[in-house]
Chains A and B, each alone.
Chain A
Amino acid sequence: MLARGTSAAQAGAGADLASQPAGVPKTRLRLINATVSRSGAVLLGALPFAAVAAAYLVASAQRLAVNANDKLLPAPAQMWAAFFDLATVPDKRSGDLILWADTYASLVRLFAGVGLATLAALLLGVAIGFVPRVRAFLLPFVTVVCVIPPLALLPILFIALGLGETAKITLIAVGVAPVMVRDIANRVMELPPELVAKAQTLGGNSWTMVLRLVLPQIMPRLITSVRLALGPAWLFLIAAEAIASTEGLGYRIFLVRRYLSMDIILPYVAWITLLAVATDWLLARLSHVISPWAHPVQNR
Protein backbone atom coordinates (compact mmCIF):
# COMPACT_ATOMS: atom_id res chain seq x y z
CA MET A 1 0.00 0.00 0.00
CA LEU A 2 2.84 2.29 0.82
CA ALA A 3 4.63 1.46 -2.39
CA ARG A 4 1.52 2.53 -4.31
CA GLY A 5 1.37 5.77 -2.38
CA THR A 6 4.96 6.48 -3.33
CA SER A 7 4.44 6.00 -7.04
CA ALA A 8 1.28 8.14 -6.88
CA ALA A 9 3.30 10.84 -5.15
CA GLN A 10 5.91 10.69 -7.89
CA ALA A 11 3.29 10.94 -10.61
CA GLY A 12 1.57 13.84 -8.83
CA ALA A 13 4.80 15.72 -8.33
CA GLY A 14 5.78 15.14 -11.93
CA ALA A 15 2.48 16.53 -13.18
CA ASP A 16 2.79 19.58 -10.95
CA LEU A 17 6.34 20.23 -12.01
CA ALA A 18 5.32 20.31 -15.64
CA SER A 19 2.32 22.60 -15.15
CA GLN A 20 2.67 26.16 -16.38
CA PRO A 21 0.11 28.95 -16.44
CA ALA A 22 -1.85 29.35 -19.65
CA GLY A 23 -0.54 31.97 -22.04
CA VAL A 24 3.07 31.26 -21.23
CA PRO A 25 4.84 29.60 -24.16
CA LYS A 26 5.93 26.08 -23.32
CA THR A 27 9.67 26.28 -23.01
CA ARG A 28 12.18 24.32 -21.04
CA LEU A 29 13.27 26.61 -18.25
CA ARG A 30 16.68 26.28 -16.70
CA LEU A 31 16.76 23.88 -13.77
CA ILE A 32 17.21 26.73 -11.30
CA ASN A 33 14.16 28.60 -12.64
CA ALA A 34 11.68 25.72 -12.78
CA THR A 35 9.65 26.34 -9.63
CA VAL A 36 7.44 23.85 -7.83
CA SER A 37 3.78 24.44 -7.01
CA ARG A 38 2.64 24.29 -3.42
CA SER A 39 1.09 20.83 -3.62
CA GLY A 40 4.04 19.66 -5.68
CA ALA A 41 6.38 20.85 -2.97
CA VAL A 42 4.43 18.98 -0.29
CA LEU A 43 4.54 15.79 -2.31
CA LEU A 44 8.23 16.14 -3.14
CA GLY A 45 9.02 16.89 0.50
CA ALA A 46 7.10 13.81 1.65
CA LEU A 47 8.94 11.58 -0.77
CA PRO A 48 12.16 10.94 1.24
CA PHE A 49 10.10 10.17 4.38
CA ALA A 50 7.95 7.73 2.44
CA ALA A 51 11.03 6.15 0.88
CA VAL A 52 12.71 5.56 4.24
CA ALA A 53 9.49 4.21 5.76
CA ALA A 54 8.93 1.90 2.80
CA ALA A 55 12.50 0.60 2.90
CA TYR A 56 12.19 -0.07 6.62
CA LEU A 57 8.84 -1.85 6.28
CA VAL A 58 10.10 -4.10 3.52
CA ALA A 59 13.31 -4.97 5.37
CA SER A 60 11.46 -5.53 8.66
CA ALA A 61 8.85 -7.75 7.02
CA GLN A 62 11.58 -9.83 5.38
CA ARG A 63 13.51 -10.36 8.61
CA LEU A 64 10.38 -11.15 10.63
CA ALA A 65 9.30 -13.67 8.00
CA VAL A 66 12.55 -15.58 8.51
CA ASN A 67 12.57 -15.25 12.32
CA ALA A 68 9.49 -14.03 14.15
CA ASN A 69 11.59 -13.21 17.25
CA ASP A 70 14.01 -10.95 15.39
CA LYS A 71 14.86 -7.87 17.49
CA LEU A 72 16.75 -5.72 15.04
CA LEU A 73 13.95 -4.43 12.84
CA PRO A 74 10.72 -4.70 14.83
CA ALA A 75 7.36 -4.23 13.12
CA PRO A 76 5.49 -0.92 13.70
CA ALA A 77 2.97 -2.67 15.90
CA GLN A 78 5.71 -3.99 18.20
CA MET A 79 7.32 -0.56 18.45
CA TRP A 80 3.99 1.09 19.18
CA ALA A 81 3.20 -1.48 21.88
CA ALA A 82 6.55 -0.96 23.58
CA PHE A 83 6.30 2.82 23.35
CA PHE A 84 2.70 2.82 24.59
CA ASP A 85 3.75 0.69 27.56
CA LEU A 86 6.48 3.11 28.54
CA ALA A 87 4.07 6.01 28.22
CA THR A 88 1.13 4.55 30.18
CA VAL A 89 2.22 1.65 32.43
CA PRO A 90 4.00 2.71 35.64
CA ASP A 91 7.45 1.22 36.11
CA LYS A 92 7.36 -1.71 38.56
CA ARG A 93 10.34 -0.51 40.54
CA SER A 94 9.93 3.27 40.68
CA GLY A 95 6.24 3.65 39.88
CA ASP A 96 7.05 6.33 37.27
CA LEU A 97 5.65 6.54 33.80
CA ILE A 98 9.04 6.07 32.19
CA LEU A 99 8.55 7.98 28.95
CA TRP A 100 7.28 11.10 30.68
CA ALA A 101 9.86 10.93 33.46
CA ASP A 102 12.62 10.60 30.85
CA THR A 103 11.21 13.39 28.72
CA TYR A 104 10.83 15.72 31.68
CA ALA A 105 14.35 15.04 32.97
CA SER A 106 15.89 15.54 29.54
CA LEU A 107 13.96 18.68 28.66
CA VAL A 108 14.77 20.32 31.99
CA ARG A 109 18.48 19.71 31.35
CA LEU A 110 18.25 20.82 27.74
CA PHE A 111 16.36 24.03 28.41
CA ALA A 112 18.42 24.90 31.47
CA GLY A 113 21.63 24.47 29.49
CA VAL A 114 20.44 26.30 26.40
CA GLY A 115 18.78 28.96 28.57
CA LEU A 116 22.05 29.68 30.36
CA ALA A 117 23.88 29.77 27.04
CA THR A 118 21.32 32.19 25.61
CA LEU A 119 21.68 34.47 28.59
CA ALA A 120 25.46 34.42 28.19
CA ALA A 121 25.13 35.08 24.47
CA LEU A 122 22.89 38.05 25.15
CA LEU A 123 25.02 39.62 27.87
CA LEU A 124 28.48 38.85 26.51
CA GLY A 125 27.57 39.06 22.83
CA VAL A 126 26.05 42.52 23.15
CA ALA A 127 28.88 43.74 25.39
CA ILE A 128 31.57 42.40 23.04
CA GLY A 129 29.82 43.62 19.93
CA PHE A 130 28.90 47.09 21.18
CA VAL A 131 31.62 48.16 23.61
CA PRO A 132 35.14 48.35 22.12
CA ARG A 133 36.85 47.93 25.49
CA VAL A 134 34.91 44.77 26.34
CA ARG A 135 35.64 43.51 22.82
CA ALA A 136 39.38 44.00 23.29
CA PHE A 137 39.12 42.29 26.69
CA LEU A 138 36.98 39.24 25.89
CA LEU A 139 36.89 38.53 22.16
CA PRO A 140 40.28 36.71 21.99
CA PHE A 141 39.29 34.58 24.97
CA VAL A 142 35.89 33.65 23.57
CA THR A 143 37.46 32.89 20.20
CA VAL A 144 39.87 30.44 21.81
CA VAL A 145 37.22 28.84 24.02
CA CYS A 146 35.12 28.33 20.90
CA VAL A 147 37.53 25.79 19.45
CA ILE A 148 37.77 23.55 22.55
CA PRO A 149 35.78 20.37 21.81
CA PRO A 150 33.12 20.40 24.58
CA LEU A 151 33.00 16.62 24.84
CA ALA A 152 36.67 16.66 25.81
CA LEU A 153 35.62 18.74 28.81
CA LEU A 154 33.02 16.20 29.89
CA PRO A 155 35.36 14.18 32.15
CA ILE A 156 36.59 17.41 33.72
CA LEU A 157 33.03 18.49 34.41
CA PHE A 158 32.12 15.14 35.93
CA ILE A 159 35.24 15.21 38.13
CA ALA A 160 34.78 18.82 39.19
CA LEU A 161 30.98 19.00 39.47
CA GLY A 162 30.06 15.42 40.28
CA LEU A 163 27.69 13.22 38.33
CA GLY A 164 24.55 15.22 39.10
CA GLU A 165 22.49 17.63 37.07
CA THR A 166 25.02 20.47 37.36
CA ALA A 167 27.62 18.70 35.23
CA LYS A 168 25.13 17.84 32.49
CA ILE A 169 23.61 21.31 32.33
CA THR A 170 27.07 22.86 32.40
CA LEU A 171 28.19 20.64 29.53
CA ILE A 172 25.27 21.79 27.38
CA ALA A 173 25.77 25.45 28.31
CA VAL A 174 29.54 25.34 27.81
CA GLY A 175 29.08 23.41 24.60
CA VAL A 176 26.80 25.86 22.83
CA ALA A 177 27.47 29.22 24.52
CA PRO A 178 30.78 30.23 22.89
CA VAL A 179 29.43 29.91 19.36
CA MET A 180 26.28 31.80 20.32
CA VAL A 181 28.29 34.57 21.98
CA ARG A 182 30.39 35.00 18.85
CA ASP A 183 27.34 34.89 16.63
CA ILE A 184 25.56 37.61 18.59
CA ALA A 185 28.71 39.72 18.89
CA ASN A 186 29.16 39.52 15.11
CA ARG A 187 25.57 40.48 14.51
CA VAL A 188 25.92 43.49 16.80
CA MET A 189 29.10 44.56 15.01
CA GLU A 190 27.25 44.25 11.69
CA LEU A 191 24.60 46.78 12.74
CA PRO A 192 24.68 49.55 10.13
CA PRO A 193 26.92 52.33 11.52
CA GLU A 194 24.35 54.77 10.16
CA LEU A 195 21.76 53.49 12.64
CA VAL A 196 24.15 53.79 15.56
CA ALA A 197 25.16 57.32 14.47
CA LYS A 198 21.52 58.30 14.03
CA ALA A 199 20.60 56.99 17.48
CA GLN A 200 23.37 59.11 18.96
CA THR A 201 22.20 62.24 17.16
CA LEU A 202 18.80 61.62 18.75
CA GLY A 203 20.40 61.65 22.18
CA GLY A 204 20.80 57.94 22.82
CA ASN A 205 23.42 56.96 25.39
CA SER A 206 25.20 53.61 25.42
CA TRP A 207 22.62 51.97 27.67
CA THR A 208 19.48 53.30 26.00
CA MET A 209 20.93 52.32 22.62
CA VAL A 210 21.37 48.76 23.91
CA LEU A 211 17.74 48.73 25.04
CA ARG A 212 16.11 50.42 22.07
CA LEU A 213 18.41 49.66 19.15
CA VAL A 214 20.69 46.68 19.76
CA LEU A 215 18.37 44.27 21.59
CA PRO A 216 15.41 44.57 19.22
CA GLN A 217 17.72 44.40 16.22
CA ILE A 218 19.46 41.19 17.32
CA MET A 219 16.36 39.42 18.67
CA PRO A 220 15.60 37.56 15.40
CA ARG A 221 19.24 36.52 15.16
CA LEU A 222 19.27 35.39 18.80
CA ILE A 223 16.28 33.14 18.17
CA THR A 224 17.91 31.73 15.04
CA SER A 225 21.05 31.20 17.07
CA VAL A 226 19.09 29.24 19.70
CA ARG A 227 17.44 27.16 16.98
CA LEU A 228 20.83 26.28 15.52
CA ALA A 229 22.31 25.62 18.97
CA LEU A 230 19.60 23.11 19.85
CA GLY A 231 21.18 20.52 17.53
CA PRO A 232 24.52 20.42 19.36
CA ALA A 233 22.64 20.82 22.66
CA TRP A 234 20.78 17.54 22.08
CA LEU A 235 24.09 15.89 21.20
CA PHE A 236 25.70 17.00 24.46
CA LEU A 237 22.59 16.07 26.44
CA ILE A 238 22.50 12.53 25.13
CA ALA A 239 26.25 12.12 25.51
CA ALA A 240 26.09 13.23 29.14
CA GLU A 241 23.05 11.08 29.87
CA ALA A 242 24.63 8.04 28.24
CA ILE A 243 27.62 8.24 30.55
CA ALA A 244 26.15 9.11 33.93
CA SER A 245 22.44 9.33 34.60
CA THR A 246 19.52 7.48 36.10
CA GLU A 247 16.81 8.84 33.85
CA GLY A 248 16.47 10.73 30.61
CA LEU A 249 15.88 9.99 26.96
CA GLY A 250 19.56 9.44 26.20
CA TYR A 251 19.99 7.30 29.30
CA ARG A 252 17.08 5.08 28.27
CA ILE A 253 18.37 4.53 24.75
CA PHE A 254 21.79 3.53 25.99
CA LEU A 255 20.30 1.38 28.76
CA VAL A 256 18.05 -0.70 26.53
CA ARG A 257 20.81 -1.01 23.91
CA ARG A 258 22.17 -3.80 26.15
CA TYR A 259 19.06 -5.85 25.41
CA LEU A 260 19.01 -4.94 21.71
CA SER A 261 15.61 -3.38 22.34
CA MET A 262 15.21 -1.73 19.01
CA ASP A 263 11.46 -1.62 19.67
CA ILE A 264 12.23 1.03 22.32
CA ILE A 265 15.25 2.72 20.77
CA LEU A 266 13.57 3.52 17.45
CA PRO A 267 10.43 5.09 18.96
CA TYR A 268 12.63 7.05 21.37
CA VAL A 269 14.68 8.43 18.48
CA ALA A 270 11.45 9.35 16.73
CA TRP A 271 10.18 10.97 19.94
CA ILE A 272 13.38 13.02 20.34
CA THR A 273 13.09 14.09 16.69
CA LEU A 274 9.50 15.14 17.27
CA LEU A 275 10.46 17.15 20.37
CA ALA A 276 13.28 18.84 18.45
CA VAL A 277 11.07 19.69 15.49
CA ALA A 278 8.35 21.04 17.79
CA THR A 279 10.84 23.22 19.70
CA ASP A 280 12.24 24.55 16.46
CA TRP A 281 8.77 25.37 15.16
CA LEU A 282 7.80 27.11 18.40
CA LEU A 283 10.96 29.24 18.29
CA ALA A 284 10.25 30.19 14.69
CA ARG A 285 6.74 31.29 15.72
CA LEU A 286 8.19 33.17 18.69
CA SER A 287 10.42 35.15 16.34
CA HIS A 288 7.36 36.17 14.31
CA VAL A 289 5.60 37.32 17.46
CA ILE A 290 8.56 39.22 18.96
CA SER A 291 10.00 40.69 15.76
CA PRO A 292 7.21 41.05 13.22
CA TRP A 293 9.31 43.63 11.35
CA ALA A 294 11.95 41.01 10.54
CA HIS A 295 9.39 38.75 8.86
CA PRO A 296 7.56 40.87 6.29
CA VAL A 297 4.28 39.32 5.19
CA GLN A 298 4.86 37.62 1.87
CA ASN A 299 1.30 37.32 0.59
CA ARG A 300 0.70 41.04 0.32
Chain B
Amino acid sequence: MTDSAILYDSSRCSACKGCQSACKCWNGLPSPLGKEAGGCTGSYQSPLELNGDTRLLISFNEKRNEKGGIEWAFARRSCMHCVNPACAAVCPSGTLHVDEASGMVAVSDEKCIGCQYCASACPFGVPHHYGPEPTVNKCTGCVDRIEQGRVPACVKTCQPGALNFGDRAEMLAIAHERVALLKSKGFDKAVVYGEDELDGLHVVSVAKYGLDAAGLPENPQVNDIVDWLGIMKPLTGIGAGAILAGLGLSFLTGVGYKRHTLHYDEVAHDVVDMDTGEVLQHIDVDIDVERKA
Protein backbone atom coordinates (compact mmCIF):
# COMPACT_ATOMS: atom_id res chain seq x y z
CA MET B 1 0.00 0.00 0.00
CA THR B 2 1.19 3.47 -0.84
CA ASP B 3 0.93 5.92 1.99
CA SER B 4 -0.23 9.09 0.27
CA ALA B 5 -1.45 12.29 1.81
CA ILE B 6 -3.01 15.60 0.95
CA LEU B 7 -1.09 18.50 2.47
CA TYR B 8 -3.04 21.65 3.29
CA ASP B 9 -0.86 24.62 4.18
CA SER B 10 -3.07 27.37 5.57
CA SER B 11 -0.18 29.84 5.40
CA ARG B 12 -0.25 29.60 1.59
CA CYS B 13 -4.01 29.43 1.29
CA SER B 14 -5.71 32.57 0.00
CA ALA B 15 -9.16 31.16 0.72
CA CYS B 16 -10.23 31.53 -2.90
CA LYS B 17 -12.42 28.45 -2.51
CA GLY B 18 -11.17 27.00 -5.77
CA CYS B 19 -10.99 23.64 -3.98
CA GLN B 20 -14.57 23.97 -2.79
CA SER B 21 -15.72 24.74 -6.32
CA ALA B 22 -13.59 22.08 -8.04
CA CYS B 23 -14.75 19.42 -5.58
CA LYS B 24 -18.38 20.02 -6.47
CA CYS B 25 -17.80 20.28 -10.19
CA TRP B 26 -15.63 17.17 -10.48
CA ASN B 27 -17.84 15.07 -8.23
CA GLY B 28 -21.12 16.26 -9.74
CA LEU B 29 -22.42 17.51 -6.41
CA PRO B 30 -25.39 19.87 -6.47
CA SER B 31 -25.64 23.34 -5.00
CA PRO B 32 -29.01 24.89 -4.26
CA LEU B 33 -30.93 25.99 -7.36
CA GLY B 34 -33.63 27.85 -5.47
CA LYS B 35 -33.75 31.63 -5.33
CA GLU B 36 -32.07 33.10 -2.23
CA ALA B 37 -31.56 29.54 -0.99
CA GLY B 38 -28.36 30.42 0.80
CA GLY B 39 -28.98 33.45 2.94
CA CYS B 40 -26.37 35.46 4.77
CA THR B 41 -23.95 33.42 6.85
CA GLY B 42 -22.49 36.45 8.62
CA SER B 43 -19.05 35.37 7.43
CA TYR B 44 -17.05 34.68 4.28
CA GLN B 45 -17.60 31.02 5.10
CA SER B 46 -20.36 29.30 3.17
CA PRO B 47 -21.78 26.74 3.65
CA LEU B 48 -21.08 26.93 7.38
CA GLU B 49 -20.93 23.14 7.71
CA LEU B 50 -20.27 20.12 5.58
CA ASN B 51 -23.54 18.62 4.42
CA GLY B 52 -25.05 15.96 2.23
CA ASP B 53 -23.99 17.86 -0.86
CA THR B 54 -20.76 19.42 0.38
CA ARG B 55 -17.61 17.44 1.03
CA LEU B 56 -15.15 20.26 1.43
CA LEU B 57 -15.28 23.84 2.58
CA ILE B 58 -12.89 26.59 3.56
CA SER B 59 -13.50 27.96 7.03
CA PHE B 60 -12.75 31.48 8.22
CA ASN B 61 -11.92 32.56 11.73
CA GLU B 62 -10.88 36.13 12.50
CA LYS B 63 -9.67 37.93 15.59
CA ARG B 64 -7.57 40.87 16.63
CA ASN B 65 -4.53 39.70 18.57
CA GLU B 66 -2.96 41.27 21.62
CA LYS B 67 -0.49 43.26 19.44
CA GLY B 68 -3.38 44.86 17.56
CA GLY B 69 -2.75 42.77 14.45
CA ILE B 70 -5.37 40.68 12.74
CA GLU B 71 -5.31 36.90 12.63
CA TRP B 72 -7.56 35.70 9.84
CA ALA B 73 -7.22 31.96 9.89
CA PHE B 74 -8.28 29.97 6.85
CA ALA B 75 -8.74 26.25 7.20
CA ARG B 76 -9.86 23.38 5.02
CA ARG B 77 -12.65 21.25 6.39
CA SER B 78 -13.12 17.84 4.83
CA CYS B 79 -12.43 14.18 5.46
CA MET B 80 -9.10 13.66 7.24
CA HIS B 81 -8.63 10.20 5.72
CA CYS B 82 -7.50 8.61 9.00
CA VAL B 83 -4.86 5.94 8.76
CA ASN B 84 -7.16 3.81 10.94
CA PRO B 85 -10.56 5.12 9.92
CA ALA B 86 -13.29 4.55 12.48
CA CYS B 87 -15.93 5.13 9.81
CA ALA B 88 -14.68 2.23 7.73
CA ALA B 89 -14.33 0.08 10.84
CA VAL B 90 -18.00 0.48 11.66
CA CYS B 91 -19.37 0.51 8.13
CA PRO B 92 -21.44 -2.67 7.86
CA SER B 93 -21.85 -2.56 4.08
CA GLY B 94 -18.33 -1.98 2.82
CA THR B 95 -19.29 1.46 1.53
CA LEU B 96 -16.39 3.10 3.28
CA HIS B 97 -13.09 1.37 2.84
CA VAL B 98 -9.41 2.09 2.64
CA ASP B 99 -8.13 2.37 -0.91
CA GLU B 100 -5.13 0.10 -0.92
CA ALA B 101 -3.30 2.04 -3.60
CA SER B 102 -3.39 5.41 -1.88
CA GLY B 103 -4.46 4.88 1.71
CA MET B 104 -7.38 7.27 1.24
CA VAL B 105 -10.76 6.38 2.71
CA ALA B 106 -12.74 5.66 -0.41
CA VAL B 107 -16.50 5.51 -0.84
CA SER B 108 -18.57 3.01 -2.79
CA ASP B 109 -21.81 4.86 -2.27
CA GLU B 110 -23.91 2.39 -4.20
CA LYS B 111 -23.38 -0.02 -1.28
CA CYS B 112 -24.57 2.43 1.38
CA ILE B 113 -27.52 1.15 3.41
CA GLY B 114 -28.03 4.45 5.19
CA CYS B 115 -27.25 3.25 8.71
CA GLN B 116 -25.20 6.38 9.41
CA TYR B 117 -22.84 4.55 11.76
CA CYS B 118 -20.03 6.38 10.02
CA ALA B 119 -21.43 9.78 10.94
CA SER B 120 -21.45 8.75 14.55
CA ALA B 121 -18.07 7.13 14.54
CA CYS B 122 -16.11 9.89 12.83
CA PRO B 123 -14.10 11.96 15.31
CA PHE B 124 -14.43 14.94 12.98
CA GLY B 125 -18.11 14.67 12.11
CA VAL B 126 -17.32 14.43 8.43
CA PRO B 127 -19.72 11.92 6.84
CA HIS B 128 -23.10 13.39 6.00
CA HIS B 129 -25.98 11.84 4.19
CA TYR B 130 -28.37 12.96 1.49
CA GLY B 131 -31.62 11.88 -0.04
CA PRO B 132 -34.82 10.36 1.33
CA GLU B 133 -33.04 7.04 1.73
CA PRO B 134 -29.89 8.42 3.26
CA THR B 135 -26.72 7.77 1.31
CA VAL B 136 -23.33 8.78 2.61
CA ASN B 137 -21.54 11.82 1.21
CA LYS B 138 -17.95 12.46 2.10
CA CYS B 139 -14.66 13.16 0.38
CA THR B 140 -13.52 10.11 -1.57
CA GLY B 141 -9.93 11.29 -1.83
CA CYS B 142 -10.64 11.40 -5.57
CA VAL B 143 -9.30 7.86 -5.81
CA ASP B 144 -10.86 7.78 -9.31
CA ARG B 145 -8.45 10.51 -10.32
CA ILE B 146 -5.50 9.05 -8.45
CA GLU B 147 -6.01 5.78 -10.33
CA GLN B 148 -5.75 7.76 -13.56
CA GLY B 149 -2.52 9.41 -12.51
CA ARG B 150 -4.17 12.69 -11.60
CA VAL B 151 -4.14 14.40 -8.24
CA PRO B 152 -7.39 15.06 -6.34
CA ALA B 153 -9.55 17.78 -7.90
CA CYS B 154 -9.05 20.17 -4.98
CA VAL B 155 -5.27 19.80 -5.11
CA LYS B 156 -5.14 20.20 -8.87
CA THR B 157 -7.02 23.48 -8.86
CA CYS B 158 -5.19 25.18 -5.97
CA GLN B 159 -3.47 28.26 -7.40
CA PRO B 160 -1.20 29.30 -4.51
CA GLY B 161 0.01 25.73 -3.92
CA ALA B 162 -1.64 25.48 -0.51
CA LEU B 163 -2.75 21.99 -1.42
CA ASN B 164 -0.30 19.32 -2.36
CA PHE B 165 -0.58 15.56 -2.85
CA GLY B 166 2.10 12.92 -2.59
CA ASP B 167 3.93 10.52 -0.34
CA ARG B 168 2.79 11.07 3.23
CA ALA B 169 6.30 11.19 4.66
CA GLU B 170 7.23 13.79 2.09
CA MET B 171 4.11 15.87 2.86
CA LEU B 172 4.95 15.72 6.55
CA ALA B 173 8.50 16.85 5.89
CA ILE B 174 7.25 19.83 3.88
CA ALA B 175 4.77 20.66 6.64
CA HIS B 176 7.44 20.61 9.35
CA GLU B 177 9.75 22.76 7.28
CA ARG B 178 6.95 25.25 6.76
CA VAL B 179 6.05 25.39 10.42
CA ALA B 180 9.69 26.03 11.31
CA LEU B 181 9.71 28.93 8.84
CA LEU B 182 6.45 30.32 10.23
CA LYS B 183 7.75 30.14 13.78
CA SER B 184 10.89 31.98 12.72
CA LYS B 185 8.63 34.73 11.36
CA GLY B 186 6.84 35.03 14.68
CA PHE B 187 3.82 32.79 14.14
CA ASP B 188 4.28 31.08 17.50
CA LYS B 189 1.15 28.98 17.33
CA ALA B 190 1.94 27.42 13.94
CA VAL B 191 1.69 23.67 14.12
CA VAL B 192 1.57 20.51 12.02
CA TYR B 193 -1.61 18.46 12.31
CA GLY B 194 -2.20 14.94 11.17
CA GLU B 195 1.10 13.28 11.95
CA ASP B 196 0.21 11.41 15.13
CA GLU B 197 -3.40 12.32 15.73
CA LEU B 198 -5.51 9.14 15.73
CA ASP B 199 -2.47 7.12 14.65
CA GLY B 200 -2.04 9.52 11.77
CA LEU B 201 -4.16 11.16 9.09
CA HIS B 202 -3.83 11.17 5.34
CA VAL B 203 -4.57 14.86 5.39
CA VAL B 204 -1.66 16.78 6.86
CA SER B 205 -2.31 20.39 7.78
CA VAL B 206 -0.19 23.39 8.57
CA ALA B 207 -2.22 25.55 10.93
CA LYS B 208 -0.64 29.01 10.78
CA TYR B 209 -2.53 30.40 13.77
CA GLY B 210 -2.79 27.18 15.76
CA LEU B 211 -5.40 24.49 16.11
CA ASP B 212 -8.16 26.51 17.74
CA ALA B 213 -8.22 29.07 14.97
CA ALA B 214 -8.30 26.28 12.39
CA GLY B 215 -11.12 24.50 14.18
CA LEU B 216 -9.03 21.37 14.61
CA PRO B 217 -9.64 19.30 17.76
CA GLU B 218 -6.42 19.13 19.70
CA ASN B 219 -6.64 15.54 20.77
CA PRO B 220 -9.30 13.82 18.70
CA GLN B 221 -10.50 10.54 20.09
CA VAL B 222 -12.43 7.73 18.62
CA ASN B 223 -15.08 6.92 21.17
CA ASP B 224 -14.48 3.50 22.64
CA ILE B 225 -18.01 2.65 21.70
CA VAL B 226 -16.68 2.29 18.20
CA ASP B 227 -15.28 -0.98 19.38
CA TRP B 228 -18.82 -2.02 20.15
CA LEU B 229 -19.87 -0.98 16.71
CA GLY B 230 -17.15 -3.11 15.25
CA ILE B 231 -18.51 -6.09 17.14
CA MET B 232 -22.08 -5.26 16.30
CA LYS B 233 -21.45 -4.56 12.64
CA PRO B 234 -23.83 -7.28 11.48
CA LEU B 235 -26.65 -5.82 13.54
CA THR B 236 -29.07 -3.41 12.03
CA GLY B 237 -32.27 -1.71 13.07
CA ILE B 238 -33.00 -0.60 16.56
CA GLY B 239 -29.70 -1.62 18.05
CA ALA B 240 -27.90 0.63 15.65
CA GLY B 241 -30.19 3.48 16.53
CA ALA B 242 -29.42 3.09 20.18
CA ILE B 243 -25.70 3.21 19.69
CA LEU B 244 -26.03 6.16 17.38
CA ALA B 245 -27.86 8.03 20.07
CA GLY B 246 -25.24 7.31 22.67
CA LEU B 247 -22.51 8.58 20.44
CA GLY B 248 -24.47 11.68 19.66
CA LEU B 249 -24.06 12.90 23.17
CA SER B 250 -20.33 12.52 23.03
CA PHE B 251 -19.60 14.81 20.13
CA LEU B 252 -21.87 17.78 20.42
CA THR B 253 -19.13 20.12 21.52
CA GLY B 254 -16.59 19.53 18.74
CA VAL B 255 -14.95 22.78 17.65
CA GLY B 256 -14.87 23.48 13.95
CA TYR B 257 -15.62 20.03 12.81
CA LYS B 258 -19.23 19.68 13.86
CA ARG B 259 -20.85 16.34 13.61
CA HIS B 260 -24.54 15.69 13.05
CA THR B 261 -26.18 17.43 15.94
CA LEU B 262 -28.29 14.52 17.03
CA HIS B 263 -29.40 14.58 20.62
CA TYR B 264 -30.52 11.73 22.79
CA ASP B 265 -33.29 12.79 25.13
CA GLU B 266 -32.66 10.61 28.16
CA VAL B 267 -36.13 11.11 29.62
CA ALA B 268 -38.18 10.41 26.50
CA HIS B 269 -35.57 8.07 25.06
CA ASP B 270 -35.81 9.81 21.67
CA VAL B 271 -33.09 10.62 19.19
CA VAL B 272 -33.74 14.20 18.11
CA ASP B 273 -32.21 16.16 15.23
CA MET B 274 -31.08 19.36 16.90
CA ASP B 275 -31.46 21.40 13.71
CA THR B 276 -35.01 20.42 12.89
CA GLY B 277 -36.32 19.17 16.20
CA GLU B 278 -37.53 16.06 14.43
CA VAL B 279 -37.63 12.84 16.45
CA LEU B 280 -35.60 10.48 14.35
CA GLN B 281 -35.96 7.43 16.49
CA HIS B 282 -37.43 6.24 19.73
CA ILE B 283 -35.14 3.94 21.64
CA ASP B 284 -36.24 0.81 23.34
CA VAL B 285 -35.00 1.34 26.89
CA ASP B 286 -34.25 -2.28 27.56
CA ILE B 287 -31.85 -2.55 24.68
CA ASP B 288 -30.29 0.77 25.63
CA VAL B 289 -29.69 -0.48 29.14
CA GLU B 290 -28.36 -3.71 27.78
CA ARG B 291 -25.86 -1.81 25.70
CA LYS B 292 -24.72 0.27 28.63
CA ALA B 293 -24.19 -2.86 30.63
A and B found bound together? no
Interfacial residues, chain A to chain B (CB-CB below 8 A) = none
Interfacial residues, chain B to chain A (CB-CB below 8 A) = none
